[in-house]
Structure 1
């Protein structure tokens, strides 16, 4: 099977890259998933890479499922007995921790606390500290702890950097919160990645095992990775450096939850021999939409420069609607969709 068939020149360039670090800057609607899945299939079929040594990280379960289905369709006609590992950061880390968490003085059969569990626990913590939950919102305390964990900052380090009354209270809560989680043999969502990073630091032999297991790694939506995800990625890729990251600085929208766009922008500093591929052809939008979007986004100073283009038609002129608030905006969108479909 020709895995380059139906791909444009830049997509083919990404697919043909085998070893070494690669940055794929993929504009919106540029067919990045097609390029990524064809590359995985090509590694397996054309280059005889063991599928189980391929790790592909996505940001959502939906994206992971879609990628898995596409790869399976591409290699369906071949006698392949194993599969690449495709999943979110959290799902992959859970797999690892289910085998090795006992090394961190916890049981492998741990529980994962959801937001409701976390708030119930935090209310208990506040009660132990005689803090009024009306003055110290459990969600706000948990948000502070989450931000620390995304930066790989534990309770002791957080105590040292607490700089005001609220952060001091967060620090007190953080210590007891972690103590109670451990008592319950539980991790919260942010612990999953942080604990995996700590496991690898504390047990280099375990890290070495996974470095050799996952010899080809790709990470999608790299512009939305936080510090913990960045460190985990580099831990796993350090031995073989066959790391492909896919992202677009123009689509970085999660800085409010700890995402660091510099992870993408500094990739060539992290890997000075990195190959860079720009997917600039858009298959989704009209010329007028792309032109307007380019005029807006090019004013951003901190971005990876690219010029999105399309062979699609010019399209209709763009209407601008200034809404009063978010409800008015949503109502306008619904009305426009209804009008178009009627």
Structure 2
């Protein structure tokens, strides 16, 4: 049977992922996309593994299906009576960071498992090596070769696939921390590697330039961090839908039923070209070589992208196709095509409404993009949409390459071409009146997305505030639409700085397709955070955007980081936070019990001295306790008391996260990946610790 598979996704337990990810949502989106087999993702995380076992049952062929009572109903009825049943494969991704031959290596590996027991045994083995609870994609100080050995000892049927092999920072062939060959990484166990995941920033044609990859099956997966991203890259099979048949197809290619892949246009990937996002510098490999890998704007080393690394290892020019190479198709997601035509963000309510109408009329998205006859599409869509799909199928698009972590863009039409179609003001096809009446009477539900569990707000009042905020002056508009990178807005009180910040966030989401969950906005008070969140919530809810930015205070942000990394501080998962009154009481109590503390008649005065020093000193961050003891021995006893009883105070909410991020580069890299756009309200008021 023919089917589409996407093995590499994530759960809500991974960083920078949608909290709405669950098996019911995955099932819904897989059906709408036309993906029949998806990975579970993140099975090493204990909580997610429990959910996997609770909601999935074996199908008797090494794959898993959703329990009948968990199968969700779709509010969109797809016009197809023979939908392929949705199956799951147990998968996860491991981040291996380790030293080899004097160099730090950072390699991500995709793991596939045939059964629950093997998955549980493998997770237990990794739990003895490192922390698998803090992240759905755990970071382990384990050699990739040794990971493969542990995997094979656990199950002979288990499979390891090097993930997104060209990504600069975390991949087996990456420019920053990878190797020059697969054999160098996995050494004596290399024969067990038979498939490679090419990643979003490369396609098979690029990989064909490197002849030493000819013996591997090239696969593609979405690496989805939210359910609507399922299938943006995927794999095509024509074999039995069973674990063994699928792995046999991946081992032997077309002879056993592996047909090929669905791909991003690689220019859309975040690391296709070289550059510096902060400097807004994007360069081709040839240009980077002319600059000797140095940014012409700031003079620092460039982030060398996937194309550069491919050319560096290539022994053939672009255009070569190995004898055993399989076909592939490059796609642009349907919502992005609709967004380009409408002139609105892909997450906007207008685009999502039309996207779901098309699915309800024509069927699963990948069928529309790949195989549905254009004449059939024409019955329910405008000529411009039909032409867009025709062009994407033929590879006729305009690409602006991604670089240094910033997605590229794919445009189907030039501005002139869009203007030529400007007379078409509707997506609905031009039909006779009788047909229009029939279409209007046809019952069609266009959305299955449930309402967000965000706090209820007075939308009318907030809407009015936002309408006022839309009246920006020219300087504010310039700030809102400025290029990616550092931006400092300097203005007096009451001039609309916060309003500009809010509009910038909304603009990034709606116009630049920035994922809301990659945005962090920090302010000083709960009230300010609530007001900022309310303004943004009103707009995003009205636009139908499900995800939300992280909008918080400095101390709540610190608490979040402490809780997520509690084991690093030897704290409980939910540490007790002392109030200021608790602090004053403890200072007073400890001062009386400390013989060498001197005459401390006013503990609140002592507390104020310490807090003032901490807030004004930047040097206390690296070794805070030693300096605290220099202020007064009482603080040493106070710190010891907190440690013994698992307590933290509001000062720790700043000191502990900053110490962690200063001294642990791996965790720092995770948060940098999670929050790629950071905003600080009332920046002029930050102290040394907050800065």
Shorter-chain TM-score range: 0.5 to 0.7
Distance 1:181 1:115, change over 3 A: same
Partner of residue 97, structure 1: 562
Give the CA deviation at 1:61.
0.5
Q: 1:80: how far off?
A: 1.4
Shift of 1:196: 0.5
1:231-310 alignment to 2 at 5 Å? none
Aligned twin of 2:587: 122
Find the aligned partners of 1:192 and 1:68 in 2 and give their Cα distance. 22
Q: Which of 456, 463, 476 pairs up with 1:11?
A: 476
User: 2:489 is paired with a residue of what secondary structure?
Assistant: strand
For the 8 Å contact 1:98–1:108, the answer to whether it is kept is yes
Question: For 1:79 and 1:88, how far apart are their aligned partners in 2?
Answer: 26
Q: Alignment partner of 2:678: what SS?
A: strand
| Residue 214 of structure 1: how far off its partner (Å) | 0.5
CA contact (8 A) 2:518 2:676 kept: yes
- Separation (CA, whole Å) in 2 of partners of 1:15 and 1:225: 22
Q: Could you tell me which residue of structure 2 aligns to residue 195 of structure 1? A: 656
Alignment match, 2:544: 79
CA-to-aligned-CA distance 1:159-185 (integer Å, 9 cap, x gap): 4xx4xxxx4xx2x01111100011121
Does 1:33 find its partner at 2:503? no
Match of 1:156 among 619, 626, 651: 626
Q: Which residue of the partner structure matches residue 146 of structure 1?
A: 611
TM-score by length of 2: 0.31
Q: Give the superposition deviation at 1:187.
A: 0.9
Equivalent residue, structure 2, for 1:136: 601
Match of 2:571 among 81, 106, 119: 106
Q: Which structure: larger Rg?
A: 2
| Residues 48-93 of structure 1: CA deviation (Å, up to 9, x unaligned) | 0000000000111101000001011122232312100001011111
Q: Distance in 2 between matches of 1:85 and 1:26?
A: 25
Quote the RMSD (CA, aligned, Å).
Answer: 2.2
Q: Provide, for residues 133-186 of structure 1, a one-character-per-residue CA deviation record: whole Å limited to 9, x for no partner.
A: 974311111112213332352121344xx4xxxx4xx2x011111000111211
Distance 1:39 1:97 in 2: 29
3-state SS, counterpart of residue 661 of structure 2: helix
**What does residue 534 of structure 2 align with?**
69
Which structure's residues are more often helix, by fraction? 1
Report the CA distance between 1:131 and its aligned residue: 6.9
Please give the alpha-carbon distance, in whole angstroms, between the structure 1 residues aligned to 2:534 and 2:551.
10
Q: Where do 5+ consecutive residues of structure 1 fail to align?
A: 231-342
Corresponding residue for residue 270 of structure 1: none
Given that 1:38 and 1:74 are in contact with CA atoms closer than 8 Å, whether structure 2 keeps it comes out as no
| Higher relative contact order structure (alpha carbons within 8 Å, sequence separation ≥ 6) | 1
Distance 1:131 1:120 in 2: 19
2:125 is matched with none
Q: How far, CA to CA, are the matches of 1:135 and 1:72 in structure 2?
A: 50
**Contact 1:123–1:133 (Cα < 8 Å) also in 2:** no
Instruction: Tell me which residue corresponds to 1:227.
Output: 688
CA 18–55 in structure 1, closer or farther in 2 if over 3 Å, else same: farther
Equivalent residue number for residue 264 of structure 1: none
SS at structure 1 position matched to 2:543: coil
Count of matched residue pairs: 221
Pair 1:211-2:669 in alignment: no
| Residues in 2 aligned to 1:220 and 1:28: alpha-carbon distance in whole angstroms | 12
Gaps of 5+ in 2: 1-343, 346-466
Greater alpha carbon shift after TM alignment, 136-145 vs 87-96 = 136-145
For the pair 1:179 / 2:640, whether they are aligned, the reply is: yes
Contact 2:642 2:648 (8 Å CA) reproduced: yes
